[in-house]
Amino acid sequence: MNTNEEIKSVVREKYAAIANQSPEQNLASCCGSTGCCGDETYSIMSDDYSKLEGYNPDADLGLGCGLPTEFARMKEGDVVVDLGSGAGNDAFVARRHVGSSGRVIGVDFTEAMVTKARENASKLAFDNVDFRLGDIEDLPIVGNAVDVVVSNCVLNLVPNKHKVFGEIFRVLKPGAHFSISDIVLEGSLPEKWQSVAELYAGCVSGAIQKNDYLGIIEEAGFKNITIQKDKTITIPDSILSSYFTPEEIKTFKESNTRITSITVYAEKPAKDDRNCCEPGAGCC
């Protein structure tokens, strides 16, 4: 995977396959597709959505690594955008918070996922939940129009994270905020991990350093950056042994590397000190 487009192609292909599997098949592996993680069943990244209001089991493919909607401070009437919306799981929970007077927009670049999400929305008879086919590096949404952005275990799959957070900044209203769950690292993954496509699509080898991740958010112009949740991800030996030798696994475990799911909150300033989003400023 030498180019951004090659990475996107791997991810798109993997998640198109996931969209056409049953929830039981998706939950029976670490990365959302059977066959990559052995015969045992693991849910090593996802959190339990079943107790959240608005939860719809048909939309839960077990692909998340947190509960961003639990921390997103949504309120009735808000416009919410879900990045990498999949089958609609977080979007439907968000809809419960914003009510019939609000609006939820899900964006996903896998056509099969968008189709599945729209089918789920139709079953629920929601007329204020919209799913759009699009790349979150170039969101199909106008600027300064969104109250809350959420995302669950998606940005680690995106090659250009600077561009995504720039897009989040662009679409949020001044003073609005995001709550995003993602996989990050503390310490370095073995170089071999970077070449394993299954692990990339499973959100591990696409992750970057925690401090770098937070730095990108700050560089994009966000303020009040807060880690709302931090959860260590432990990958079982039965998964690691599919890719690595016993010696490589031992070396990894003895290293200082920590794979973690974080949920991050940040706000777009109410007034943009850069003055680049004012009409006629000419620099956005």
pLDDT in tens, 157-191: 888 999 999 999 999 999 999 999 999 999 888 77
Which residues partner with 185 through β-bridges?
Answer: 209, 259
Q: What percent of the chain has pLDDT over 70?
A: 81
* Farthest-apart Cα atoms in the chain, separation: 60
Split at pLDDT 50, 70, 90, the class of 198 is low
In the predicted structure, residue 228 carries a pLDDT above the cut 90: yes
Between 27-31, 96-100, 218-222, 235-239, the lowest mean confidence (pLDDT) is in: 27-31
pLDDT in tens, 257-279: 888 999 999 999 997 555 555 44
pLDDT at 276: 53
In the predicted structure, residue 32 carries a pLDDT above the cut 50: no
In the predicted structure, residue 214 carries a pLDDT above the cut 60: yes
Instruction: Give this prediction's pTM.
Output: 0.85
In the predicted structure, residue 106 carries a pLDDT above the cut 70: yes
In angstroms, the CA 204 to CA 202 distance is 6
pLDDT at 199: 67
Split at pLDDT 50, 70, 90, the class of 22 is low
Tokens at 257, concatenated: 């590397």
The beta strand positions in 134-243, using DSSP E, are 146-152, 172-186, 223-232
Split at pLDDT 50, 70, 90, the class of 149 is very high
Split at pLDDT 50, 70, 90, the class of 36 is very low
Mean pLDDT of the chain: 84
Domains and CATH numbers, the chain: 4-234+256-267 (3.40.50.150)
Query: Are 150 and 72 contacting, i.e. CB atoms less than 8 angstroms apart?
Result: yes
Map tokens 């950056």 to a residue.
Answer: 225
pLDDT at 57: 80
In angstroms, the CA 274 to CA 257 distance is 37
Which residues partner with 104 through β-bridges?
Answer: 80, 129
pLDDT at 95: 97
pLDDT at 40: 35
DSSP code, position 190? P
pLDDT at 226: 98
In the predicted structure, residue 135 carries a pLDDT above the cut 60: yes
Query: Are 190 and 252 contacting, i.e. CB atoms less than 8 angstroms apart?
Result: yes
Q: What percent of the chain has pLDDT over 90?
A: 52
pLDDT in tens, 116-133: 999 999 999 999 999 999
